[in-house]
Structure 1
């Protein structure tokens, strides 16, 4: 088992060998049956949904070989013979794999388990390398396989993954004793060996030999000549155009259900879109089932040059999106049977914009990113196939059988229920400490993708790292008083996750002084960060929210001081009152776009607060005549509930305002002050 996991990790770590979560590996051996005390032959195989690069022993399914191979008689009984009649009963074989499991725990067996159990070899690898799939999708793939590999690798025509495919490969190995593996038409490769080392070496030999054949024999421009005017825009201009288009495209891709986005401008994508054959090849769609289950059968491709006016591009994208949805619905109607699952949605998962790059979509950031990676795989496959032959993926009927396979539907049904803020993209200013940090953590815990924005780059980076990887949270450095910096932060947000849904104006500071000691600079600083800063952030965010057309939330972290006249606090209180009225004004103005604007009015948050740690606490403690370390308790005692307000309490209010239960609420201020009667809203 340890050898299997190590081999899997090595193979999965190199994208030339297989895509993320693609393929599976296995090893056969024996163990002692704890019931009988006798040896029992087993197969360890990567389970359903796992990834070779990160596989651990817990990701393996362990099955008894005698029971697994005993299913052959069951399958042939379904078929009445060894012919194709059993294909109609393939789905009935999958649940029977559970009855072959050995021991407790382990992963669920995948659809490819039969391949690993039935092939008479101690070790088996099934992989999805770009070079191998290029052969598998070439119009004359069988002849190319013979020419490239001789009798060391055998061609197996396309067959949907399942029990019969396992029987086919087992028969090929038995009939071809010199063979080290097979090319699976339209799918990938399978290799085997007597030892783990031999199996891995055979897998790598197939992949590297196929790639060398393509490199040595292939045409130099497989995608055809460059199209005039379709070259990639310069990097800075490309980023600007991508940021302008991202909210629009995400809104279109979310017509049926909200999606998270991913953007890439890799050379692979840009070069493909600059070549003459890209419209034809993109229309043929992807081939490997692993690919099109993530990317849909084909992408939406913009047919305008990158220098076209932005307004023309947006209008054309809307037209193409409507046509894409109609075409997808027609595809579903052509192939759906009475017992097919309902259509899952007609929006594209991949949108290609010449000169700019690729936008990919999914239910979360990882899914969106992986969909984009898979389309890059598909481009590499097309390049290889076109270099030595012509690209000829499996037909649409077969793609539909995979996409709307009952087993695929069952897998989707087993996925956990989405969290309340799943698919929502949040930007939190002042997110590097205190209340902002608590809000960022809470929103991420409830399923949101979070951009942690702060003037202090290291603090923003630290909080983003606390939350998780870049599929969940990213840092942005921004001074909210700088309009250009705020615009750049919104651009970074939409490029990181596809758009923006939830903006929290939390950045703030305070200087506690009597009126006569408050300087012009004190006033300007506090109003610059909180009054002006909130306005600048809201203005930039509203542009993206309106372009996106999905509604959204803007939340202001104001203060009880916006309505409570505390001593020695004129600049801070006035700035917070400005914020409070921005909530009302923007709620009225943006409501027609489905954008809700609300506020939270906390009492003084002492523990964990960046403001209080920066000297504000000492000044307020002096005002009230209490030791600074007792300021939180002092604030608590003057409230009705006698409770101290903490950062997480403010975060709770932000979640309550944005999680959906208050969907018809806008222009509201929620007090989070444990009850300060003088700050009651009237």
Structure 2
């Protein structure tokens, strides 16, 4: 099974990349592309069955190793990073892809709900960044890519996630300055509405919004997991050796259209999606 990547096959030969949230969706797609480029990957997640399935897709334990970890728990994160370094001996890259949220107006979000989303999307990101930096990258260099979301409009309807993603961006900026002397680059990718498996886990009440958002995107479609993966791969690569503290928004122009409500979008757009992984399946919610 060949991933249809646009990068050279040996780009990450001999290197190890940690992917949190590697058991499904965008993280799974990234793992496939990285392996196609010669990397070995450490897949981190909470559900072992999902991680095992991706490991089998990638070719087994020699290429991908799996680690069950609650990224919100500092003790577990420290132990997981230690286990990864014990197994592989090094880790040149880290992609923080794990996270999650649920739609709710601010007035209805409980303290527990708030904390769960902030810990998933911000605290877990920080803990993995810190542990990988202290345990390996501070002495050897490396690249970190944080996968976030476009928070600049506040994310009404998911304000807890907007607050966490804003913090994630600020964390990226701070680390890009503090860790640059060690040869560590820290950047962020902000996906727009991506046709990823995670969409099928939203409540049914959100289905119409998820389908209709494409009407507001200038490119008139959802993005694909492969389009996010390609951005992250670039930021990990040597081609981005002077890219540090950057935020790369992958949203088909949606951000700028939301700031320009007076512009009427054409009914159709000539935009073909890029899909690199043969195993990709479009979320069912988008076709109902």
Considering the TM-score relative to the shorter chain, is it more than 0.5? Answer: yes
Aligned to 1:138: none
* Change in CA separation of 1:606 and 1:619 when aligned onto 2, cut-off 3 Å: farther
Partner of 1:575 in structure 2? Answer: 164
Deviation above 4 Å: which 4+ runs of structure 1? none
Q: How do 1:303-452 residues align onto structure 2 when only pairs under 5 Å count? A: 419-452=10-43
Query: What TM-score do the two structures reach when normalised by structure 1?
Result: 0.36
Length, aligned pairs only:
251
Aligned mate of 1:541, from 132, 143, 168:
132
CA contact (8 A) 1:636 1:674 kept: no
1:557 aligns with 2:135: no
Q: Is 2:186 the counterpart of 1:600?
A: no
Q: Which has the higher contact order (CA 8 A, sep 6+)?
A: 2
1:620 and 2:209 correspond: no
In structure 1, the gaps of 5 or more residues are 1-416
After superposition, the Cα gap between the structure-2 partners of 1:511 and 1:492, relative to the gap in structure 1 and judged at 3 Å, is same
| Contact 1:531 1:578 (C-alpha < 8 Å) held by counterparts | yes
Q: Distance in 1 between matches of 2:127 and 2:196?
A: 29
* Candidates 236, 242, 245, aligned match of 1:658: 236
1:426/1:451 contact within 8 Å kept: yes
Deviation at 1:589, TM superposition (A): 0.6
Q: Distance in 1 between matches of 2:13 and 2:251?
A: 29
**Whole-Å separation in 2 of the counterparts to 1:607 and 1:576:** 19
The answer to whether structure 1 residue 644 and structure 2 residue 217 are counterparts is no
Specify whether residues 435 and 418 from structure 1 end up closer, same or farther in structure 2 by C-alpha distance, changes over 3 A only.
Answer: closer
1:530-554 CA-partner distances (Å, limit 9, x unpaired): 111011111101012345x331011
Equivalent residue, structure 1, for 2:283: none
| Cα distance in 2 between the residues matched to 1:653 and 1:679 | 23
Q: 1:499 aligns with which of 87, 90, 93?
A: 90
Q: Distance in 1 between matches of 2:236 and 2:58?
A: 19
Which residue of 2 is the match for residue 147 of structure 1? none
- Which of 490, 509, 513 aligns to 2:100? It is 509
Distance 1:543 1:603, change over 3 A: same
Deviations 1:493-528 (A, max 9, x none): 112211111111111111111111111111000011
How far apart are 1:662 and its partner, in Å? Answer: 1.2
Measured on the aligned residues, the alpha-carbon RMSD in Å equals 1.8
CA distance in 1 between partners of 2:125 and 2:205 (Å): 25
**What does the per-residue CA deviation read over 1:206-239, in whole Å, with 9 as the maximum and x for residues that have no partner?**
xxxxxxxxxxxxxxxxxxxxxxxxxxxxxxxxxx
CA distance in 2, matches of 1:659, 1:528: 29
- Equivalent of 1:669 in 225, 229, 247: 247
- 1:459-474 aligned within 5 A: 459-474=50-65
Report the TM-score, using the length of structure 2 for normalisation.
0.82
- C-alpha separation in 2, matches of 1:679 and 1:472: 42
1:383-433 CA distance string (max 9 Å, x none):
xxxxxxxxxxxxxxxxxxxxxxxxxxxxxxxxxx97001122111111111
* TM-aligned CA deviation for residue 679 of structure 1: 7.2
Q: Is the 8 A contact 1:419 1:447 kept in 2?
A: yes
Alpha-carbon distance change, 517 to 438 in structure 1, aligned in 2, over 3 angstroms: same
- Asked if structure 2 preserves the Cα contact closer than 8 Å seen for 1:424 and 1:448, the reply is yes
Q: Quickly say closer, same or farther: Cα 1:538–1:637, change in 2 above 3 A.
A: same
Assess, with a 3 A threshold, how the Cα gap between structure 1 residues 515 and 484 changes in structure 2: closer, same or farther. Answer: same
The separation in 1 between residues aligned to 2:82 and 2:52, in whole angstroms, is 18
Classify 1:678/1:492 alpha carbon distance in 2 versus 1 (closer, same or farther; 3 Å): farther
Measure how far apart 1:465 and its partner are.
1.4
* Distance in 1 separating the partners of 2:191 and 2:258: 10
1:668, 1:533 → 2: CA distance? Answer: 20
Larger Rg: 1 or 2? 1
| Cα separation, 2, equivalents of 1:469 and 1:569 | 38
Residues of 2 paired with 1:604 and 1:496: CA distance?
Answer: 36
How far off its partner does 1:443 sit? 1.1
Q: Among 177, 182, 190, which residue is 1:588 paired with?
A: 177
